[in-house]
Amino acid sequence: MTNGKLITFEGIDGCGKSTQVQMLSDHLSSLGYSVVVVREPGGTDVGEAIRDILLSVELSPCPETELLLYLASRAQLTRQIIFPALNEGKVVIADRFADSSTVYQGYARGIGMETVKKLNAFATMNLVPSITFILDIPEEIAAERMKLKSKDRLEKEGTDFLKKAREGYLILAQEEPERFVVVNASRSPDVIFEEILLILKEKRVIQF
């Protein structure tokens, strides 16, 4: 058993995950917690190489290949970084984790959520986050926020795909209401962050 905490952030592209991950990491670090931030896909040397394949605009892997690449990156990240950190009692904050595959490849790409959940269990040695925040936002607002960024292959797919992914996240949240917290991410970063801190406190994930 591990004594650390794994906190994951999920939600469609442009919902504000990286922004909240940074705010939480800074806050917990300032309180003296030992924090490790990981991002998916990537986070290890092997994972970053896989990330380059996944985000390349020149490649078009089929959904099954795409899924296996994400799982490969995740298997490496879990064994090399996340489990060691949790065993040392650290707080690990993940910018996307297994649920992203369940939603994107399982639901939006149609492989099937249950199939992907089983493969995730293998890739992560059955690791389940202490809590998962789903930053929920209408796809139009997310698309608007992303206009400012240069787009990689996955971000070029348009709002229909984002809509499907948003739907997938809300299905997952209904299936496992103890772990998932759906947060209205249309608000300002500070307001969202305040709510996240409150929830972490109430659910006793972090002792403030």
Name the site residues for Mg ion (rule: CB under 5 A): 17-18
Q: Applying CB under 6 A, which of residues 5, 7, 10, 13 lies at the interface with ligand ATP? A: 13
β pairing state of 180-184 and 35-39 = unpaired
Residues numbered 147 to 176 that lie near ligand ATP (CB under 6 A) are: 148
Nearer to ligand ATP, 24 or 67 (CB): 24
Residue 80 contact among Mg ion, ligand ATP, none, beta carbon within 5 to 8 Å by kind: none
The nearer residue to Mg ion, 10 or 66, going by C-beta atoms, is 10
CB 97 within 8 Å of CB 120:
no
Is 19 among the residues that bind ligand ATP (CB under 6 A)?
A: yes
> Closest approach of Cβ 108 to ligand ATP, in Å?
14
Candidates 16, 41, 43, 129; binder of ligand ATP (CB under 6 A) is 16
Is the CB of 145 or the CB of 179 nearer to ligand ATP?
145
Helix axis angle, 159-175 relative to 113-123, nearest 10°? 70
- Nearer residue to ligand ATP within complex by CB, 31 or 191: 191
In terms of Cα–Cα distance, which of 82, 90, 109 is closest to 164?
109
Element (H, E) at 99: helix 98-101
**Count residues contacting ligand ATP (CB under 6 A)?**
13
Closest to 67 measured CA to CA, from 40, 88, 38: 40
Cβ distance 5 to 130 under 8 Å?
A: yes
Residue 13 binding result from Mg ion, ligand ATP, none, given CB thresholds of 5 to 8 Å by partner type: ligand ATP
On the question of a cis peptide bond just before residue 177, with omega within 30 degrees of 0, the verdict is: no
CA distances 18 to 24, 117, 169, Å, are 10, 24, 17
Under the binding rule (CB under 6 A), the answer on residue 18 touching ligand ATP is yes
Pick one of 172, 192, 200, 206: the residue that binds ligand ATP (CB under 6 A): 192
Q: Which regions of the chain does DSSP assign to beta strands (E)?
A: 5-10, 35-39, 91-95, 131-136, 180-184
Q: Which residues bind ligand ATP (CB under 6 A)?
A: 11, 13-19, 145, 148, 188-189, 192
